[in-house]
Amino acid sequence: MSTTPLVGFVGFGAMASRMGANLVKAGYRIVAYTPSGKGGDGSTRFLPTPRALAQEADIVVACVPDDEALDKSMNGPDGVLAGMKSGGLLVNTSTVAPETSVTLAQAGHAHGITVIDAPVAGSTPEAESGNLIVLAGGTAADISRAQGVFDAIGRLTIHAGPPGSGSKLKLVINGIMGATLAVVAEGVTYGLASGLERGMLFDALDEVPVISPHHKRKLKAAKAGDFSPQFPARLMQKDMRLLMTDAARHTAPLPAMAAATQSLSLTRRRHPNEDYSALFAVMESMVANTP
């Protein structure tokens, strides 16, 4: 029997399949579960339930879209918690509400399982190249248990604090990312409405230092009208919603991020499965026929 650690992925979409490929390169074995039984390039073995996966895997990595999907895969008679042995390690890379991460850590503790909330900063290009930044919530000892996995998928691990802290830090980062894109899109909207030549405008913004490398990548996509999903609008809007909810709980005033959430809600309604940079298309459509 192989002594190579077996990592089981619950959820095996665009991000998880790329993380899995890097784990294989680092010497791990992987298996996966998805409701459809599909994902990746077809080379990964799929198991029928989260419980079956947890019974086989040495480490379970959850990478699902939202709180509801996490609850469904973790709990109940066919859930991960029902299948993991005491002493197991569960790494949740999903972006979920901080209170969800805390609740999962508590449930894991009751089963003798170490749970780390470890969402990642970066999109599919960083996942493919192994350059994600891991935002980890848990004790230092817990995080050290998962460090080999983190080193295989990312270039840096940030210990954000106790359970739930990784989820909080991820919402900070995504809130800044979403709100900044909304501001850049508004700048483009003004430029186009005022008569600036479109190509010149996008090219100029690509040169100036006030635009981050991430948002310059989105500008290039918007100029070409290519909104292939690296970070789908439905997920970005979901993250902004989680941020707004938790901010209200802590009475943290976020007026600019609240306004950006509305713009991203419109983007999700019109382009749910395209990249969240489709906000540029939404804004540009509003001024396309302006006299």
Q: Would you say residue 41 has pLDDT above 90?
A: no
What are the residue numbers of the active site?
170
Give the Cβ contact number of residue 270 at 10 Å: 14
Q: Would you say residue 290 has pLDDT above 70?
A: no
- Cα 282 to chain centroid, rounded: 23
Give the Cβ contact number of residue 201 at 10 Å: 18
Handedness of CA 63, 68, 70, 72 (dihedral sign): negative
Give the Cβ contact number of residue 72 at 10 Å: 14
The answer to whether the beta carbons of residues 148 and 90 sit under 8 Å apart is no
Interatomic CA distance for residues 222 and 219, integer angstroms: 5
Give the Cβ contact number of residue 74 at 10 Å: 26
Q: Would you say residue 57 has pLDDT above 80?
A: yes
* Mean per-residue pLDDT over the chain, rounded: 96
The answer to whether the beta carbons of residues 63 and 19 sit under 8 Å apart is yes
Q: What is the mean pLDDT of residues 90-105?
A: 98
Write down the pLDDT at residue 37: 86
**Domains of the chain, first to last:** 6-162 (3.40.50.720), 169-287 (1.10.1040.10)
Ramachandran region, residue 60 (left: φ > 0; alpha: ψ -120 to 50; beta: rest): beta
Q: Would you say residue 1 has pLDDT above 60?
A: no
Q: What is the mean pLDDT of residues 145-174?
A: 98
* Residue linked to tokens 């799929």: 46
- Nearest-CA neighbor of 192 among 261, 116, 281? 281
Give percent above pLDDT 70 in the chain.
98
Q: Would you say residue 227 has pLDDT above 80?
A: yes
